[in-house]
Amino acid sequence: MKEFIKLKDFIEKNGEFVLIGHKNADGDCIGTMSAFAIVLEKLGKGFELLVADPVPYGYLFLKHVKDFKVKEKHNCKNKPVILFECGTVERCGIELENCGEIVNFDHHPDNTFYADINIVNPEASSVGEMGTLFFKEFFPDLINTDVANALYTAIHTDTGGFAYSNVSKNTFDVASFLIEKGLDNQLVCNEVYGNNRIEKTKLLGYYLQNLKIVKIKDFNLCYGVLTLKDLENFNCTSRDTENFANYPRGIKGADVGVFFLEVEKGFFKVSLRSKGKIIVNKVAARLSGGGHKFAAGCTVKGNFEEVFEKLKNEFLKDE
Ligand SMILES: [Mn+2]
């Protein structure tokens, strides 16, 4: 990408950076931020790492992730900022003041190109894939096992383990390159997928036990719901529900899977996943959310029944 050279200049000319992820940052976002932090450190640069929500436990093994600060507001003091996977500045969920030059590093098709440097590639499986290509081009000697593990975490989690429609030849090429650079893929998979709290696994059991499947027009939607009360009953928080959205789609006969998670009293985060027949980001966008064609989300106000009706009505409006 020709914008990569602008990012390289941006990194070289500045000394202190603010790296910021999107709200409810996922493995892709967190892994890529970790990789950038390691490379910046090796270049002798300073940085702060900010997110709006606590990092899910499975990513805490990545370098610098324990140093992520959870913030509602932040004064950037005119330092340069890199926003990861934020289609708009607001998407970071942190109220930012006095941003310096901004880099927008994303792979979502609904990105609004709001920054001074926009590096947006909707063809990429993940920002981890984009980050790997960037480092491979400009800082190949700085990619060690820690960087490779962080980028591989990003790619592996955002592609469902190389399973989704976003995977391309590039995705496998960068994975292969990361192996050359010392990737410990077993460590990554054990940490990310093999380290679940038992409370989380029991919550997952309850969630799966209560999945339902309904027909909307000509397609089947499978969904699961967790309320704040459910989380409390299982001694869990929203941090324990990462990837829960992928299970309903995995059901035979389901075209779309939906996970409804109550994130605040009377507000549900709605995560939509499609097997490929139904496009879901249009519906999410009409409910003030967004995302990819086959993986999108939004937050909707109401009790569960109201939220479900709103979503169903949006699907009915689709041609
Ligand atoms: Mn991503």
Question: Could you tell me the CATH number of the domain that includes residue 80?
Answer: 3.90.1640.10
Is 282 found in the same domain as 236?
yes
Instruction: Kindly indicate the confidence band of residue 141, based on its pLDDT and cuts at 50, 70 and 90.
Output: very high
- In whole angstroms, what is the distance from residue 98 CA to residue 193 CA? 38
Q: Report pLDDT for 297.
A: 95
Instruction: Kindly indicate the confidence band of residue 239, based on its pLDDT and cuts at 50, 70 and 90.
Output: confident
Instruction: Kindly indicate the confidence band of residue 233, based on its pLDDT and cuts at 50, 70 and 90.
Output: very high
Q: Quote the number of domains for the chain.
A: 2
- In whole angstroms, what is the distance from residue 154 CA to residue 131 CA? 10
Is 165 found in the same domain as 187?
yes
Element (H, E) at 137: helix 127-138
Ligand 1 midpoint to CA 143 (Å): 21
The residue out of 159, 193, 227 marking a domain boundary is 193
Of 271, 316, 274, 273, nearest to 298 by C-alpha is 271
Ligand 1 midpoint to CA 233 (Å): 31
**Mean pLDDT across 158-162:** 96
Ligand 1 midpoint to CA 311 (Å): 23
Is 237 found in the same domain as 285?
yes
Is 203 found in the same domain as 180?
no
Is 121 found in the same domain as 28?
yes
If phi > 0 it is left, if psi is from -120 to 50 it is alpha, else beta; for residue 224 that is beta
CB 111 within 8 A of CB 87: yes
Ligand 1 midpoint to CA 186 (Å): 21
Is 288 found in the same domain as 173?
no
Instruction: Kindly indicate the confidence band of residue 19, based on its pLDDT and cuts at 50, 70 and 90.
Output: very high
Is 179 found in the same domain as 207?
no
Ligand 1 midpoint to CA 125 (Å): 7
Q: In Å, how far are 88, 124, 191 from 311, measured between CA atoms?
A: 23, 28, 35
CATH number for position 288? 3.10.310.30
**Mean pLDDT across 198-223:** 97
Is 110 found in the same domain as 170?
yes
**Mean pLDDT across 287-296:** 94
Ligand 1 midpoint to CA 257 (Å): 18
Is 172 found in the same domain as 68?
yes
Is 110 found in the same domain as 41?
yes
Is 236 found in the same domain as 163?
no
Instruction: Give the residue numbers spanning the domain of 292.
Output: 198-317
The residue out of 176, 193, 210 marking a domain boundary is 193
Ligand 1 midpoint to CA 308 (Å): 26
pTM listed for this prediction: 0.88
Ligand 1 midpoint to CA 89 (Å): 16
Sign of the four-CA dihedral 305, 282, 107, 129: positive
The residue out of 146, 167, 193 marking a domain boundary is 193
Is 187 found in the same domain as 229?
no
Q: Report pLDDT for 315.
A: 96
Q: Which residues pair with 219 in a beta bridge?
A: 216
**Mean pLDDT across 108-137:** 97
Ligand 1 midpoint to CA 86 (Å): 10
**Mean pLDDT across 75-103:** 97
